[in-house]
Amino acid sequence: MSTEALLALHELERAHSRLVADGEDARARVEVLQSRLEALEARRAEGGVEAGASGAAAAAAAASAASARAEAAAREKVSQLEAALAAAEARARAAEADAARVTERFVALEERAGAAEAAAAAAAMQAAGEAAVAQQLARERLLGAEPVLGARLLEDDELEGHGIEVDVVRPGGAADMAGMQPGDIIVAVEGMATVSHPAFNVVLENAFPGEVNTFTLLRGGRQLEVEVRYHASGIGYDELMALREAAGAAWVTEMDESAFHVRDAHVVTVKR
């Protein structure tokens, strides 16, 4: 083989060797690149996990924060409720104290009312006793007094059997207050003929102090009637009326009505 052929063959062998070396180098580079790629993918995968973990951690942190806020709000609400309960209990205790004071006042008022009622009852009993005594005294004074007409009558024999003439009327007396005048002739009392002094004396003696009688009079030939309320000897008019009131209306009416009756135009006395 010629030298040129040997050189060419040798050159081919070196080129082949270089190609083989270059191929191996390329494979190595590819393997390095693949390793790097796998490492990158691994790191990327790890980064995703870390990102997911970070998201979960953030969510957990947010949930924890929300839970903490909810717990704080719940505690605040509980504190408010406890404060409201304490205030309500304080008000209830104050109300109980007020109720106790009101009860004490009510009991005190009841005791005072009971004492006042007892005092009033005692006073009423005393007043009733005093009133009964005053009533009895008034009745005794009225029964012991003499009825008074407050007029002087003439004993005229010419009028005897026809009437009794009034001579003098005492000012302020029973006859004066009734409107009787001197010269009037009394012919009847309460419809009962009193045309004589004895008949009129019986009427007057049986009259009751303060009693009212209707007198029939003749005045200037004209007949008229006047209401005469008898006064009482030794007792003023105002005192007489007070005694009649103190004696009791029913008793006084009975005494007035029992003074006398009329029968067959004669005087019939009713003794007390």
Confidence band for 49, pLDDT divided at 50, 70 and 90: very low
The pLDDT tens digits for 206-243 are 899 999 999 999 999 899 999 999 999 999 999 999 99
Residue 181 burial by Cβ neighbours in a 10 Å radius (0-12, 13-18, 19+): middle
Closest CA to 230 of 254, 213, 247: 213
Q: What is the mean pLDDT of residues 49-72?
A: 63
Q: What is the mean pLDDT of residues 168-183?
A: 96
Q: Which 3 state secondary structure label does DSSP give 228?
A: strand
The pLDDT tens digits for 17-38 are 666 566 666 666 657 666 766 7
DSSP, res 206: T
Confidence band for 194, pLDDT divided at 50, 70 and 90: confident
Return the number of other C-beta atoms located less than 10 Å from residue 268's C-beta.
Answer: 12
User: Which of 2.60.40.420, 3.60.20.10, 3.30.230.10, 2.30.42.10 would CATH assign to domain 147-269?
Assistant: 2.30.42.10
Q: Which 3 state secondary structure label does DSSP give 152?
A: strand
Q: pTM for the complete prediction?
A: 0.51
Write down the domain spans for the chain: 147-269
> Quick one: tokens of 46?
């790890």
